[in-house]
Amino acid sequence: MTDERKLIRALPARSLEDIIAELAAAQVRAARGEPLSPPVVSVHLANGFQATGEIIDILFDQRRGTTLLLHLVGTSRHDRSSDVIYVRADAVAALTVHSAEGHVALLSAGQVTAPAGPPPTKLEARRLLDRLRQQLQEKIGAEVGLQAALDEVPAEHLGGLVELGTVVCSALQSVLCDELGQEAVKSQVKQVSLSPGPAFSLTLIAGSLNAAAPLAEHPKRWLEQAELVTRLEALL
């Protein structure tokens, strides 16, 4: 799975009204100088009419209804025109966001963000995972091992393995928030093992906390952090 598709599949469903308001607000923020580039969208009306452009303003009027103002363009910003169109929001049946992979943070209200750079190399992944191990070890106050199946995953999924380590260690940190949690983790978790898998799984066997996940998927599709903490506490 490509990084772009991974980001797209991580997007949460949101109401059409929220997305439209978010896109209009992004135009205002961009006009104020924020480094934003709002996406080109196609609005599809219930009667079959379609228009493509940028949502540049939105008017909320309780008496007359909500109106969108679109600057008409093609699916590319190079196809700009001087035309605008005013559309009643209640007539919009669907909205297509073009090149959505470049706007995941905006479309998800910050829940999904694009990676800052390319996937880590195997050595970089080892360093990042060892840093997680050291941080966890300091928090627990006891020796903890961390094994990761670095040799079993393709290079493009090494970042996913590091993300899995980050998610699991974050859940452990949450459990360590009180004395009972510290005692449970310290006495039962001697090692954290990370590997790829068809679905997210978490087991505790003979002192080894084993976590597996579909590394091609975005972590948002694995498990909610609160649910992970609950499943972890159920094992201890």
Lowest-confidence range among 38-47, 49-58, 77-86?
A: 77-86
May I ask the CATH class of domain 3-107? mainly beta
Give the pTM.
Answer: 0.62
What confidence tens digit (pLDDT) does each residue in 172-208 have? 999 998 899 999 999 999 999 999 999 999 999 999 9
Can you spell out the DSSP letters for 175-219? HTTSHHHHHHHHHH-SEEEEEE-SS-EEEEETTEEEEEE-TTS-G
User: What's the start-to-end Cα distance of the chain, in Å?
Assistant: 34
C-alpha of 121 from chain center:
22
Task: For residue 130, count other CB atoms closer than 10 A to its CB.
Answer: 13
Structural domain spans, the chain: 3-107, 122-235
Residue type, position 160, single letter:
G
E strand residue ranges, the chain: 41-45, 50-59, 67-73, 80-88, 92-97, 145-148, 191-196, 201-205, 208-213
Cα–Cα nearest to 51, from 119, 19, 98, 116: 98
> pLDDT tens digits, residue range 99-149?
888 888 888 877 776 665 677 899 999 999 999 999 999 988 889 999 999
